[in-house]
Amino acid sequence: MLIKNAIKYLVVAATFIVAASACEVDPPIKKELPANDIRMIIPEGWPYPEYDFTGNTLTKEGFILGRKLFYDPQLSRDNSISCGSCHQQFAAFSHLDHNVSHGIDNLLGVRNAPGLFNLNWNTSFMWDGGINHIEVQPIGPITNPVEMDESIANMVTKIQNDASYTSLFNDAFGTETVTSQLIFKAIAQFQGMLVSYNSKYDLYSRGQTSLTSSEQNGLNLFMAKCNTCHTAPLFTNYEFMNNGLDTIFTDAGRATITSLASDSGTFKVPTLRNIALTRPYMHDGRFTSLDAVLNHYVSGVKNSSTLSSQVAGGIQLTTTEKADIIAFLKTLTDNTFKNDERFNDPFAP
Amino acid sequence: MKTLKYSLLLFISASLIFTSCKKDPYEETAPTPSNPGVTAGSLSIHFENMAGDSSLVFNTESYVTANNDTFTVSMLKYYISNIVLTKSGGGTHVEAESYHLIDASDLATGDFTLLNVPFGDYTAISFMIGVDSLRNVSGAQTGALDPANGMFWSWSTGYIQAKLEGYSPQSTAGGNQIIYHVGGYKGIYNPLKTVSPSFGTEVASVSSTVTPEIHIKANVLEWFTSPVNISIASTSFNMTVNQTSLDMSDNYADMFTVEHIHN
């Protein structure tokens, strides 16, 4: 019996060794990811999106090409960093536990990498709103010297010279000639498909589940005290506001773009969807927990000339109320989105 | 699929046989008068970059501004878009997909030809210096508008409408550089200018036998004066949207003059 078992184990072990060594010999198998059901999504009750793929017809092939480009480190100068490096799916495409972006050559950026989802509804991109269109957004991080530091022209050359893209461009756009325009349109197809609309809160809104009493109380408090800026269903009003983080602005925020003193220290109101997945918080990632964020609004708001009247003097919340609001915020986590295989890294083993 | 490919190949070969007698697309629009169906020809525009009365020379020639500052030029680029020709007796011709990036270091970029221009006498031209606001908000573009051309702000979306770089002993910037990037397309500092350098009494006559050439001079000294005198010491570089970029766009708006028209 003992010998029989021993033989069994040996056979199993041998199989593993063969399997393992086979993996070492063969090149990594390209992961076949699903790309079914590629179509523009407008969840019930949401406004019509800013970007509806006009001039960039959404197709399965365009999505697959965009997905590969999103995860391709060739988009950085030394082929070390992809879009996916700082936008990780398990963190709703934010950079978990990184206060500011970590770029090429171990350089640090100045702002927190936001989650990527529901981008079709964005009226502008980046914390300062400097970028006006989903298709040209990637030019920012790709050319930023402390992020990916690649030139657009060189990126095009690298992708053109990579034979693994030839058929992908042909399938998506009917041409093998790579241009920056086609690269950006493909990435927009991938990013435009990142729609998060299946959180517990969404199920509740659709009458498919109920909230706990704490979550329900949090929702009521949220609607009374937070929804003016973090407006449902997208949980942002897309405006630029100073929420009282500082009295002296080391980062001018929106004023960097507009050169208007009245915009000093204002930043885009971020969505709160998937907020429990995207710590740390604020444009510079200074708060590591939702608790710290709420404490800021209760007692940490600092006065300045551009301070939003919505938070001036702070927002009054008891300890229980804070806990209820956090319970509600956690219902905005969308695990279906976080685990959606269509959005996985095709380079991953 | 294979059959389709072969059919296509056959079709293309056949088309080649039938069209091989034509020389180039130019001739297609300017055929002999014996072809009564054709009513449009071509018109060429030649931009010559100048510093005062001399042709612009990069790096080695020094120039003097209205403020008496000395500078050299290492780069001069600008967009010309939305070209409109006005016909004698009324009517206009609007160039389709009218976007041209002029790079003063690459003379070929200053020469281009408008196709499908209806026959007639044209007495005026207008164009925008820069790229119109619509294209600034329309996502990824290609050709002259490809961001790979280096005339696009990644951090604040929009085209750099015009760019002047060089050196000046009056510059307070590192290495005595001067860098002026005029960008943006909206708001109180919108630098987009539509200008109409005058033909004077000249006329550009487009016909089946004539492709006229409008010769336009662009004087880089105008960046620094009229209406606002720029001091290089106080403004050695500017790469954002502000009063200085607006001033510069007001200044360079009158850098173009129609030198003459060949018919």
**A181 closest CB neighbour out of B136, B141, B156:** B141
Interface test with B, best of A155, A256, A257, A260 (most B CBs within 10 A): A257
Query: Taking a C-beta distance cutoff of 8 angstroms, is the pair B193, B130 a contact?
Result: yes
Q: How far is A140 from chain B (nearest CA, A)?
A: 5
Q: DSSP letter string over chain B?
A: -HHHHHHHHHHHHHHHHHHTT---HHHHHS--TT-TT--EEEEEEEEEEEETTEE---SS--EE-TTS-EEEEEEEEEEEEEEEEEETTS-EEE-TT-EEEEETT-GGGGEEEEEEEESEEEEEEEEEES--HHHHTS----GGG-GGGS-EETTTTEEEEEEEEEE-TT--SGGGEEEEEEE--SSTT---EEE----TT--EEE-SS---EEEEEEEGGGGG-SS-PPPTTT-SEE-SSSHHHHHHHHHHTT-EEEEEEE-
Q: How far is A171 from chain B (nearest CA, A)?
A: 14
Distance CA A317, CA A221 (A): 9
Distance CA A71, CA A84 (A): 5
Residue type, B184: G
User: Residue A307: which of A230, A226, A228, A242 has the closest Cα?
Assistant: A242
Task: Give the model's confidence band at B35: pLDDT under 50 very low, under 70 low, under 90 confident, else very high.
Answer: low
Burial class (CB in 10 A: 0-12, 13-18, 19+), B202: middle
Interface test with A, best of B154, B160, B244, B247 (most A CBs within 10 A): B154
Task: Give the model's confidence band at A8: pLDDT under 50 very low, under 70 low, under 90 confident, else very high.
Answer: low
pLDDT for the residue numbered A5: 54
CB of B157 less than 8 A from some CB of A = yes
Q: A56 to chain B: which residues are within 8 Å by CB?
A: 139
Q: DSSP letter string over A176-241?
A: S---HHHHHHHHHHHHHT-----SHHHHHHTTS----HHHHHHHHHHHHHTTTTS-TTTT----EE
Whether the predicted pLDDT of B64 surpasses 90 = yes
Provide mean pLDDT across the span B209-238: 97
Distance CA B73, CA B61 (A): 8
* CB–CB contact A140 B154 (8 Å): yes
Q: A119 to chain B: which residues are within 8 Å by CB?
A: none
Provide mean pLDDT across the span A232-236: 98
Q: B139 to chain A: which residues are within 8 Å by CB?
A: 55-56, 133-136, 184-185, 188
Query: Taking a C-beta distance cutoff of 8 angstroms, is the pair B38, B29 a contact?
Result: yes
Percent of all residues in chain B with a pLDDT value above 90, rounded to a whole number: 85
Distance CA B232, CA B169 (A): 9
Distance CA B10, CA B30 (A): 29
Contacts of B163 (CB under 8 A, 6+ apart): B75, B76, B77, B78, B151, B180, B181, B182
Query: Taking a C-beta distance cutoff of 8 angstroms, is the pair A325, A235 a contact?
Result: no
pLDDT for the residue numbered A32: 74
DSSP 8-state symbol, A131 = B
Distance CA A310, CA B239 (A): 34
Query: Taking a C-beta distance cutoff of 8 angstroms, is the pair A248, A305 a contact?
Result: no
Q: DSSP letter string over A234-300?
A: TT----EEB-SS-SS-SS-BTHHHH--GGGTTBEEPPP-TTGGGS-SBSTT--B-SHHHHHHIIIII
Whole-complex ipTM: 0.84
Distance CA B129, CA B141 (A): 18
Whether the predicted pLDDT of A242 surpasses 80 = yes
Q: How far is A244 from chain B (nearest CA, A)?
A: 24
CB of B141 less than 8 A from some CB of A = yes
**B240 closest CB neighbour out of A179, A181, A259:** A259
Q: Count contacts between A and B (CB, < 8 Å).
A: 73
Whether the predicted pLDDT of A347 surpasses 90 = yes
pLDDT for the residue numbered A161: 98
CB of B154 less than 8 A from some CB of A = yes
Whether the predicted pLDDT of A187 surpasses 60 = yes
Whether the predicted pLDDT of B41 surpasses 50 = yes
Provide mean pLDDT across the span A166-188: 98
Q: A184 to chain B: which residues are within 8 Å by CB?
A: 139-140
Task: Give the model's confidence band at A30: pLDDT under 50 very low, under 70 low, under 90 confident, else very high.
Answer: low
Q: Helix, strand or coil for residue A167?
A: helix
Provide mean pLDDT across the span A102-124: 94
- Pairing of the two strands B237-238 and B54-55: unpaired
Provide mean pLDDT across the span A6-28: 45
pLDDT for the residue numbered B179: 98
Q: Helix, strand or coil for residue A122?
A: coil
- Domain coordinates in residue numbering, chain B: 41-262
DSSP 8-state symbol, A302 = P
Percent of all residues in chain B with a pLDDT value above 70, rounded to a whole number: 86
DSSP 8-state symbol, A44 = T
Q: B148 to chain A: which residues are within 8 Å by CB?
A: 151-153, 156, 180
Whether the predicted pLDDT of B1 surpasses 90 = no
Give per-residue burial for B203-240: e unless 16+ CB within 10 Å, then b.
ebbbebebbbbbebbbbbbbbbeeeeebebeebbbbbb
**Average pLDDT of chain A?**
92
Task: Give the model's confidence band at A83: pLDDT under 50 very low, under 70 low, under 90 confident, else very high.
Answer: very high
Provide mean pLDDT across the span A174-191: 98
* CB–CB contact B138 A152 (8 Å): no
pLDDT tens track for A288-334: 999 999 999 999 999 999 999 999 999 999 999 999 999 999 999 99
Task: Give the model's confidence band at A9: pLDDT under 50 very low, under 70 low, under 90 confident, else very high.
Answer: low
Query: Taking a C-beta distance cutoff of 8 angstroms, is the pair B184, B137 a contact?
Result: no
Distance CA A295, CA B69 (A): 56
Contacts of B243 (CB under 8 A, 6+ apart): B189
Q: How many CB atoms lie within 10 A of CB B50?
A: 19
Phi-psi category of B176—alpha, beta or left, where left has phi over 0 and alpha has psi -120 to 50?
A: left
Determine the residue of chain B that is closest to A124 in CA distance.
B157
Two tokens, residue A171 = 């399938």
pLDDT tens track for A33-43: 888 889 999 99
Provide mean pLDDT across the span A164-183: 98
- The residue that leads in pLDDT, A32 or A143, is A143
Task: Give the model's confidence band at B14: pLDDT under 50 very low, under 70 low, under 90 confident, else very high.
Answer: very low
